[in-house]
Amino acid sequence: MTNALPTSSIIGVIGAGTMGAGIAQVAAQAGHPVLLFDAWDGAAQKGKDGVAKALSRLVEKGKMAQADRDALLNRITVIATLADLAPAKLVVEAIVERLDVKQTVFGEVEAAVADDAILASNTSSLSLTAIGATLKRPQNLVGMHFFNPAPLMALVEVISGVATAPTVAETVYATAKAWGKVPVHAASTPGFIVNRVARPYYAEALRVTQEGAADPATIDAVLTECGGFRMGPFDLMDLIGHDVNYAVTNSVFDAYYKDKRFLPSLVQKDLVDAGWLGRKSGRGFYDYAEGAAKPAPATAVPAFAPASVEVHGETPLDGRITTSGMTVSRADEGEYEDGVIVVDGVVLVPSDGRMATEIAAEEMLTDVVVYDLALDYGTAKRIAIAAADQASPNAVQAATGFFQALGFAVSVIDDVPGLIVTRTVAMLANEAADAVYQRVATAGDVDLAMTKGVNYPRGPLAWAEDVGLDRVLDILENLFDTIKEDRFRPSVLLRRKVLGGGSFHA
């Protein structure tokens, strides 16, 4: 087992912006002496001053002792040149995302430090293999991708390029763990784990609103109040900045030779072109001007509780149905498949990736309403539903009344394949499966990265196993058959797991 660097080892940090200063704080807090450098005059000292200010706030709140604050700051030394990094055992670079600049900087650092010193890049998008291509000792270069803000976010992606020595990657992994972080291993492929697997979270939301099914506020509400995500995709894109988010999507799209799975959105491009970059510009999908009211999600007005409810077999809503007080009849066998609920003659089915209109046509029915996937149907506050085009106006009212009687806020959206949560989770799971299939990371590390790096309520692969891998595959195949776009093609590994009866975490 490879050991972490001892706390006596000097850590160098290049770049004293928000990320670099945060990494310096993390290393110093773990007990290491830290050398902080920035090419801009005064920037390194400014970065250290920022750390001091942040730590002082912790002291004021009683979350840190004054003596610990002072000791931590004393371990951070501002240096004037890259040559001053000579005694460092690990140098972490957190500078501009330009390959030529990183290659030049690492070339100078390599000449200054000892032959066994580890060089680490915090790049979020560039190839570690390419960065190391001009080095004399590329085996010493590894990715150490922190997430912002570095002192608070747990995840560190440890990225190995083609030339990275396994012992170097293991040392950095162990060191990140000793620093209180949650490290994961990943191969140097576009987007690594998080920035690759997360693309569908934004892409499907953008497509659903582009298709006119629901507005951003409603999609955000459904994904948080039904899907259990901490932030909705539109809120999150506004926070990240559309220039940054759109650039990452383009970078991954270009790096994968225009694979349609990563196709950028014209909706987001419009915002970037308009300068509506989100919170930092005062306007994105939402208006952040003083006094501006955030739009409310579409929520159905109260409807009458149903007169009759017939449940066929087991459904994910059984727990809430039991405690609702509604009179329910149960039919283990009959004209409907297991899991169907008939409410005042309206057929309710969980989304399987098809439109309600398709299901009605294929089953020769009229009043069909589909409802969305929930992280936990027992605690979800909101549900999205969509009615078939053939359905009568009463169908939506009956379905709405039923779900309201179960305690849900109801968002009625247009009839799009996969609704919102169903479509998003299936696509996240598919991208996660493909990352494992292409040996980017293990299934365990993919799930860990998505829960610790972007705070997903569950790892996509564990979530897919809970839903049922066969059901996820059905959803993807139905999306593919309905929309006829290559981006919905199911992962070979997902299909293999279904056919072989295996799991990702066995």
Per-position DSSP letters for 424-462, written without gaps between them: HHHHHHHHHHHHHHTTSS-HHHHHHHHHHHS--SS-HHH
Question: What's the rounded Cα separation, in Å, for the pair 377 and 314?
Answer: 13
Query: How far, in whole angstroms, is CA 484 from its chain's centroid?
Result: 25
Report which residue type is found at 79: I
Question: CA–CA separation, 394 vs 498, rounded Å?
Answer: 39
Sole residue written with tokens 């049922």: 468
Angle between helices 233-240 and 216-225 (to 10 degrees): 110
Cα distance between residue 318 and residue 305, in whole Å: 17
Structure tokens at 182: 């949650």
Helices (H), ranges, 179-260: 194-197, 199-210, 216-225, 233-240, 242-255
The tens place of each residue's pLDDT in the chain, 506 residues long, gives 789 999 999 999 999 999 999 999 999 999 999 999 999 999 999 999 999 999 999 999 999 999 999 999 999 999 999 999 999 999 999 999 999 999 999 999 999 999 999 999 999 889 999 999 999 999 999 999 999 999 999 999 999 999 999 999 999 999 999 999 999 999 999 999 999 999 999 999 999 999 999 999 999 999 999 999 999 999 999 999 999 999 999 999 999 999 999 999 999 999 999 999 999 999 999 999 999 999 999 999 999 999 989 999 999 999 999 999 888 998 876 778 888 999 999 999 999 999 999 999 999 999 999 999 999 999 999 999 999 999 998 999 999 999 999 999 999 999 999 999 999 999 999 999 999 999 999 999 999 999 999 999 999 999 999 999 999 999 999 999 999 999 999 999 999 999 999 899 87
Which two three-digit tokens encode residue 36? 């902080």
Calpha distance 198→59 (Å, rounded): 36
DSSP 283: B
Tell me the catalytic residues: 124, 145, 157, 195
Nearest one of 447, 419, 422 to 503, comparing CA atoms: 447
CA distance 484 to 417: 11
Within 13 Å, how many C-alpha atoms sit on residue 264's CB side?
23
Q: Which two tokens stand for residue 266?
A: 């014209």
| Alpha helix stretches (DSSP H) within 256-316 | 266-274
139 alpha carbon, distance to own chain's centre: 30
Contact 196/433 with Cβ under 8 angstroms? Answer: no
State the angle between helix axes of 469-483 and 460-467 in degrees (0 to 180), rounded to the nearest 10: 100
Q: What is the pLDDT of residue 337?
A: 85
Q: What are the backbone angles phi and psi of residue 87, rounded to the nearest 5°?
A: -80, 0
Residue 333 has a pLDDT of 67
Stated length of the chain: 506
> In this predicted structure, what is the pLDDT of residue 49?
98
Which domains are delineated in the chain? 11-188 (3.40.50.720), 196-213+215-296+421-506 (1.10.1040.50), 309-412 (3.30.750.190)
Question: Distance between CA atoms of 376 and 8, rounded to whole angstroms?
Answer: 47
Q: CA triplet 23, 29, 31: central angle to 5 degrees?
A: 115
What strands lie across the sheet with 34-37, from one edge to the other?
76-78, 34-37, 11-14, 90-93, 118-121, 141-146, 155-160, 182-187
